[in-house]
Amino acid sequence: MSSSEDLVGVAWHISTKSDNLGGNCVEAGPFADGSGRVAVRHSRHPDGEVIVYSRGEWEAFIGGVKDGEFDFPA
């Protein structure tokens, strides 16, 4: 987790695939410090907990998404 001071300048994004019904979305954004870290939070609770991933962790996750590793059956 990071302090709120660390999160200043994070450019939050919600997926364009999100229908945003009820505000139940995940937001992610890169840190402005150039570290490659990415913060993730619940859009309904922007002042709530934030998970921070290193550049390597985020790249591994995105690679898994692109490879279909998280295509769980509905």
Counting beta carbons within 10 angstroms of the beta carbon of residue 72, is it exposed (0 to 12), middle (13 to 18) or buried (19 or more)?
exposed
pLDDT, residue 5, reads 67
Q: What are the extents of the domains in the chain?
A: 13-66
Greater model confidence, 5 or 30? 30
pLDDT band at 23 (very low <50, low <70, confident <90, very high): low
* 49-74 pLDDT tens trace: 999 999 999 999 999 999 999 999 98
Tokens of 37: 């870290």
pTM > 0.75: yes or no:
yes
Phi, psi (rounded to 5 degrees) for 19? -90, -10
What average pLDDT is seen over the chain? 88
Strand residue runs (E) in 1-74: 13-14, 26-30, 38-42, 50-53
> Residue 27 — left, alpha, or beta (φ > 0 → left; ψ -120 to 50 → alpha)?
beta
